Structure 1
Amino acid sequence: MSNGDDEADASDDAEADGSDVTAEELESRLTEAGDALEAAETEADLDDVESSLDDIESDLEAADLPEPDEDDDDADDPREELESQLSDLRDDLGAQRGPYAEDVVAIVSDAADTVTDSEWTDDGEAEAQDAVETFLDESAEFVDHDADTGGDFVAAGDALSTVADAIDSANLDPDEDAETIEGLLEAAETLETGLEDAEVWDDLTVQEQLDARGFYDILTNENRKDFPPEWNAAKLHAEEGDFEQVLFAYDKLGSEFFDGYIVDLLYNLGSDAEPAFDAMHQRAQKRDKGPIEVLGKIGDERATETLHDYIDGDGDPALQKVTLRALGAIGSAESVQPVANRLDADSEEVRSVAARALGLLGDTRAIEPLSDVLKSDDSDSVRASAAWALRQIGTEAALDEAARYTDDRAYLVQAEAEKAASA
């Protein structure tokens, strides 16, 4: 059974948790907060307004407000209207705060990264340099710093970082140093705009990028023979040993059509294409067959570790065959066991190419597994490849193994055996 004290306690609890507050009271408090925000002159004033808004939000969440009639689409929802007013006031509060020194530091630090990380054209570098120099001069009017590029764009990023550190160390107060912060912010935003407007390579079309790099300068009326001109220029640059231009075009043009041209060009250059190793190795890591073939022709053993992964297991037979040929051409002793493992591949063609790759490697450790293939493989073409490989190894033991099959049932095997016997 309740008594008057119980009812009084319940009323006190309702007041404490804000559940009995009315929409009219909340709206009145929001109006007062709006007036206080309009009159605020310092960060402390804004902090007081924010505290009031926090209290109002807590009471609004706890308030037991009437729900709109679900059957009336035009019915007012007091909670929704109050939440909207509160949100608007918070937006106005945020807009009225600052600016702060940390805002300027963030812009200048980002600008330093932009200067350092962007790939500027010649014109863009000059434009960016002007923007940095202007900022250094303007910022010096508001904060002491010794930042200087010395006319060298390479130093521009460090110079901006120096200014950012100086601003951060100045401990500028948003109220007492408002004019200083505003001046620095204006200078920083001008710097930001200047860097955004400065030309980077990505602003240019591919042809414009090639032209800016002088890629087409090698073309004359006398040597302009092939189409497209990019292919013509790439061949001429390769003939002169300028692989930097060739690879720049290879990277920028990126079409399957042009990629095929460049891969063929590098393949035919053989070991002379060694300057292209890094680019081809990177493409080969995407399991691109053309670059893998080029790596085989270049013959650099640095590629073998990557290529060994592509012949592990019974994956893509076409990729395995290309990779096995490349490993055979490179000729690293480290490849003997990985290649020999493919003599057990499911694919007859892979087994055949693996046998021939072992012949190219020329390592005597391959004699035994090749002899086993010659003796027991179900495919005569694979057995013939094993006999050929033994001939390439060329030691007495290897030749003797191959020569044992001069009377073999398969002509291809017999022919290889006869060559071994007469060697």
Structure 2
Amino acid sequence: MDYARNSWYMSNGDDDPADASEGADAADDGGEAGESTETAAPTLPEDPTEESLTEYLDEIADRLDAAETEADLDDVEALLDDAETGIEEADLPEPDEDDEDADDPRSDLEDRVAELRDGVEDARGPYGEDVVEAIEAAVGTVEDTEWTEDGRDDVAAAVASFVDAAAETVDAGPDGDEIGDLVAALDAVAEAVADADLDADDDADDIAALLEATDGLEADLDEAEEWDDLETHEQLRAQGYYDVLGHYKDYPVEWAALKEHEAQGNVDMILLALDSLGSEFMERHCLEAFERMGKRGKTEASVEEILGRAEKRDRPAIRILGKMAAAEATDTLVEYVEEDSNPQLQKAVFKALGEIGATEAVQPLANRLDPDGDTEDLVRPHAARALGLIGDTRAVKPLADALEAHPSDDVRAAAGWALRQIGTREALEAAAEYADEHSFIVSTEGEKARDALDEEPEPAATA
């Protein structure tokens, strides 16, 4: 079974392997009878043994070393296909299953074939596609990296240099210094390389030159300055964080700058500090700044940042959302209303919902007033006060019921206060009924409600 003979000569266009062999013999006699002096292809023995297969693979390895074109490598691939078939059909000794160190000729030969196939792949190319792939990788780097001002200039210079080098082989891209222009320039070169349909053999020099240019581009981009290369204080300085400082007494300077940004309402700079400065000290002060700023600190970016923390049940963040009156947080906070196992979280949530004026929370908060529920008595007054801050008249009845029958005077007093905040006649009348209550804190709210009713103007007389 002369696998290699047939595949080799068919790939070279010879009709008769025997005629080719005669030509080779004539060449050995002086080259007068044959027109080709190429070395004949290795021939797989008809009854291959471990030794003959090893010799055959050695000859293929020599042929791989001598390969100069893609066609030569194709021929080596064909010979390896024949070798693989020969190994499969060869009668080779099997290893002793009980001996882990026993030789396995078949496995060794198969490993050798795999190694030679890897050698073929390593020897192929480079191709035009390799250039396009390298350019696309550079495009990703240019687009996805946050460059400093100096780094952007370096990137522009790197791309311009690459386009000039590539222009010797393909059409250059457009000019420009902005990131979009630079990406367009690289895309144009990549498209031109793809359209050129460069051949790995005929255009090997052009491909090598383009790959050398892409290597240079990659190296230049690696050296260009990006934000991640800077120390934190350098990043802050570059983004103007310290520009607000004049003479200051507080230390560290980041804290001094933070106070000034809070005073000026520079939300973006406070967010920058919160994101950049990793210390617990500065994190705490950034959050406290937002809490003090309240609605002044509310922007889309700040709400997104603080809400992300609140979604992890962070109580300071929940307090801040309340101070911001961030209605965007309502859905998240309402989910926490029923967490009776975490009363400290509930207190923060109830107050925040009240400050937001979240009408969606009226029923869940009213349910917390039920004396038979699982909510702690220390938490129920906060639920009542939250209902008062929301001011929805749907809360009048559950608050009036709590004021009438709840066993805790603290809850009853909070319900009276909440009814006064709602301020409708119905709410005030419900609270005023307890102006003479034996509990001082309850009667105080009742008296204030009664006074509010007394101060209401008399209805106009009708004729």
Distance 1:62 1:341 in 2: 82
Cα offset for 1:316? Answer: 3.7
8 Å CA contact 1:390–1:399 kept in 2: the answer is yes
1:109 corresponding residue in structure 2: 136
8 Å CA contact 1:53–1:86 kept in 2: the answer is yes
Cα offset for 1:58? Answer: 5.3
Cα offset for 1:298? Answer: 1.6
Q: Does 1:123 align with 2:150?
A: yes
* Compared CA separation, residues 42 and 372, structure 1 to 2 (3 A): farther
Amino acid at match of 1:226: D
Q: Does 1:306 align with 2:335?
A: no
Q: 1:388 aligns with which of 417, 431, 441?
A: 417
Distance 2:72 2:64 in 1: 8
1:320 corresponding residue in structure 2: 346
Cα offset for 1:160? Answer: 1.3
Q: SS at the partner of 1:422?
A: helix
Distance 2:449 2:281 in 1: 44
Larger Rg: 2
Distance 2:228 2:170 in 1: 35
Distance 1:376 1:130 in 2: 79
1:272 corresponding residue in structure 2: 296
Amino acid at match of 2:311: Q
8 Å CA contact 1:403–1:417 kept in 2: the answer is yes
1:87 corresponding residue in structure 2: 114
1:234 corresponding residue in structure 2: 258
Cα offset for 1:68? Answer: 4.8
Amino acid at match of 1:302: E
Cα offset for 1:268? Answer: 1.0
For residues 355-366 of structure 1, the aligned pairs below 5 Å read: 355-366=384-395
1:253 corresponding residue in structure 2: 277
Distance 1:408 1:60 in 2: 104
Cα offset for 1:189? Answer: 1.6
Q: Does 1:262 align with 2:272?
A: no
8 Å CA contact 2:368–2:375 kept in 1: the answer is no
Distance 1:60 1:351 in 2: 83
Equivalent residue pairs, number: 402
For residues 202-221 of structure 1, the aligned pairs below 5 Å read: 202-220=228-246
1:347 corresponding residue in structure 2: 375
**Structure 1, unaligned stretches of length 5 or more?**
1-17
Q: Name the TM-score, length of structure 2 as normaliser.
A: 0.78
- Greater relative CO, 1 or 2 (CA 8 Å, sep 6+): 1
Q: Deviations along 1:309-349, whole A, 9 cap, x unmatched? A: 33355464333322221121122434434443444562324
Q: SS at the partner of 1:41?
A: coil
Distance 1:372 1:62 in 2: 93
* Compared CA separation, residues 392 and 191, structure 1 to 2 (3 A): same
Distance 1:421 1:61 in 2: 103
Q: Name the TM-score, length of structure 1 as normaliser.
A: 0.85
2:60 corresponding residue in structure 1: 33
Q: 2:83 aligns with which of 34, 56, 64?
A: 56
* Compared CA separation, residues 271 and 166, structure 1 to 2 (3 A): same
For residues 62-73 of structure 1, the aligned pairs below 5 Å read: 65-68=92-95
Q: Which has the higher helix share?
A: 1
8 Å CA contact 2:385–2:418 kept in 1: the answer is yes
* Compared CA separation, residues 51 and 338, structure 1 to 2 (3 A): farther
Amino acid at match of 1:249: A
1:194 corresponding residue in structure 2: 220
Distance 2:332 2:78 in 1: 62
Cα offset for 1:406? Answer: 3.9
Distance 1:420 1:97 in 2: 92
Cα offset for 1:110? Answer: 1.8
* Compared CA separation, residues 386 and 71, structure 1 to 2 (3 A): same
8 Å CA contact 1:340–1:355 kept in 2: the answer is yes
Distance 1:78 1:98 in 2: 33
* Compared CA separation, residues 158 and 422, structure 1 to 2 (3 A): same
Cα offset for 1:158? Answer: 2.2
* Compared CA separation, residues 84 and 293, structure 1 to 2 (3 A): same
Q: Deviations along 1:55-94, whole A, 9 cap, x unmatched? A: 4345546666434567878754434533442333233222
8 Å CA contact 1:112–1:161 kept in 2: the answer is yes
Distance 1:341 1:53 in 2: 79
Q: Does 1:144 align with 2:171?
A: yes
Distance 2:224 2:88 in 1: 50
1:5 corresponding residue in structure 2: none
Higher mean C-alpha deviation, range 314-323 or range 107-116? 314-323
Amino acid at match of 2:228: D
Cα offset for 1:211? Answer: 2.0
